[in-house]
Structures are given as C-alpha cells and as structure tokens.
C-alpha cells in the first residue's frame, strides 16, 4: 500500500465550496482521495493555511517553494517521491502511481446470458 501526500496552496476548504465559484476539479479530487483511502492507501492532505508545519518539515517542499513559489502547489508525493506538481491529477494517474486497479466500468447485462441464477440481478 502506498503513502500519498498532498501539499495544497492556502485554501479555505479543500472542495473549494467556500469560493465564489466551485472549481469542479476540487470536489472531484477530494472524491478521488476518498477512493484511494477506501482502497487501503494512506492519504495525508495538507493545507498551507492550516498545516504550515508540514511544509516546513519537508525539505523537498521547502526547496520547491523556494525555487518556484506557490506555483509548484499542489505538490503530490507518493511514498516520498514527487509525482506531480502544479495540477490536480486524475483518478487514473493516482491509480497508476499507487498501482491500484481501477474498477471496471459496469456493463449492462446482456439480453440473455450474463446473468446466472442467484446473483440477484435478475
């Protein structure tokens, strides 16, 4: 199982609903992290406004902030390595980095067959 760390900019809240317009990327990413956790990974998400100590304690984060300013945020680490900066990755990418299987899209059951007795779908 992987350890995923996200270093966000200073924000009011992680879904962005506190802003004048909800950026759809934010609630989606929050949902993706929920999914990662359900898959058994350890997820730590930090907000610069509230968890500044975490930024100060991580020398990689410090260095990147020094070099690029807050533009490097969000910074995403998987098992201590930077895998992404300045953007919110997709669920597919998160799956790839953490070697997690994405759920197969549910297919519609076929007209006949595909539904064995007792599965409860018929």
Calpha distance 59→65 (Å, rounded) = 10
Looking at the Cβ atoms of 37 and 99, the one nearer to another protein is 37
Calpha distance 46→12 (Å, rounded) = 12
List 42, 60, 62, 90, residue binding another protein (CB under 8 A): 62
Q: State yes or no: residue 96 binds another protein (CB under 8 A).
A: no
- Contact letters (x/-) for another protein, 10-49, by CB under 8 A? xxxxxxxxxxxxxxxxxxx-xxx-xx--x------x-xxx
Instruction: Quote the tokens at residue 118.
Output: 């007792």
List 1, 3, 42, 56, residue binding another protein (CB under 8 A): 56
How far is the CA of 58 from the CAs of 7, 53, 111, in angstroms?
A: 10, 9, 56
Calpha distance 37→95 (Å, rounded) = 12
Calpha distance 109→112 (Å, rounded) = 8
Looking at the Cβ atoms of 32 and 95, the one nearer to another protein is 32
Positions touching another protein (CB under 8 A) are 9-28, 30-32, 34-35, 38, 45, 47-50, 52-53, 55-56, 62, 65-66, 69-70
């Amino acid at each position: 199982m992987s350890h995923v760390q996200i270093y966000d900019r200073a924000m009011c809240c992680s879904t962005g609903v506190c802003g004048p317009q909800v950026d759809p990327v934010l609630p989606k990413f929050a949902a993706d992290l929920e999914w990662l956790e359900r898959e058994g990974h350890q997820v730590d998400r930090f907000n610069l406004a509230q968890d500044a100590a975490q930024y100060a304690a991580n020398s990689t984060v410090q260095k990147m902030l020094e070099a690029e300013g807050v533009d490097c945020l969000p910074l995403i680490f998987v098992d201590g390595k930077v895998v992404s900066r300045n953007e919110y990755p997709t669920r597919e990418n998160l799956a790839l980095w953490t070697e997690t299987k994405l759920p197969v899209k549910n297919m519609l059951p076929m007209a006949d067959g595909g539904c064995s007795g007792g599965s409860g779908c018929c």
